């Protein structure tokens, strides 16, 4: 039995593996899957960071705008605008209608993402 025949017999017996590393197709498919996973991860983490930023933004603007409503100096918050206008609070007791005149104070951030409004009745 020559060497070629011996080798053939061993392959048939399953004693020797003839596959070494990945095939080109496997490498391409694996790379594609890895790329998709990376893309999804990057997109997911990007979304997460964006949401945290936006949430933090809302929080800071909300605190600033509510402080302005509560009477804090507007100068302390450059990104908040405040306006006041007259109006009244209307309500009914039974069939009788009542009105209380007063002032509406609003506080809005420059991007108009956060806005608060409060009513203060006129002093007697």
Partner 1 sequence: MKILRSESGAALVWALAATLVVIILLGSVLTFSYSFYMRSLYNNQSKQAYFNARSVVEAISREIKGETANGSAIIDLLSNPGDRVEIQDISFVGGDVPGSFSAYVELSQVDEIRVTAVSTVGSRTKRVTAVLERNYGGTGLPIGQDFPGLEIPEETVEFVSGSVSIDNKTDGDYYAAGEASVIFINSADFHGRIYAESGSRIEIKQGAKFGGEIYAQSGTEFMFSKLHNHFVGKIYVKNGAVIMVQGKNYTITLDDEGKHVSPDGMDQEFENLIYEYTGSGNGDGGWRDTVYE
Q: Which residues bind partner 1 (CB under 8 A)?
A: 33, 37, 40-41, 44-45, 47-49, 51-52, 54-59, 62, 66, 69, 85-93, 96, 98-100, 102, 104, 106, 114, 116-121, 123-124
Q: What distances in angstroms separate CA 55 from CA 60, 81, 118, one per listed residue?
A: 9, 20, 23
Cβ-count burial of 80 within 10 angstroms (0-12 exposed, 13-18 middle, 19+ buried)?
buried
CA–CA distance, 71 with 67 (Å, rounded to integer): 6
Report the residue number, 6 or 101, with the smaller CB distance to partner 1: 101
Report the residue number, 35 or 121, with the smaller CB distance to partner 1: 121
Query: End-to-end CA distance of the chain, in Å?
Result: 119
Distance in Å, CB of 51 to partner 1, minimum: 4
Report the residue number, 2 or 23, with the smaller CB distance to partner 1: 23
Distance in Å, CB of 116 to partner 1, minimum: 6
């Amino acid at each position: 039995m020559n060497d070629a025949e011996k080798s053939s017999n061993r392959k048939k017996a399953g004693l020797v593996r003839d596959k070494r590393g990945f095939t080109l197709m496997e490498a391409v498919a694996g790379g594609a899957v890895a790329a998709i996973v990376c893309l999804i991860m990057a997109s997911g983490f990007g979304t997460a960071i964006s949401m945290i930023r936006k949430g933090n933004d809302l929080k800071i603007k909300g605190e600033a705008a509510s402080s302005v409503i509560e009477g804090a100096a507007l100068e302390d918050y450059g990104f908040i605008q405040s306006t006041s206008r007259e109006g009244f609070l209307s309500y009914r007791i039974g069939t009788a209608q009542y009105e209380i005149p007063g002032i509406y104070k609003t506080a809005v951030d420059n991007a108009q993402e956060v806005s608060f409004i409060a009513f203060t009745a006129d002093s007697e």
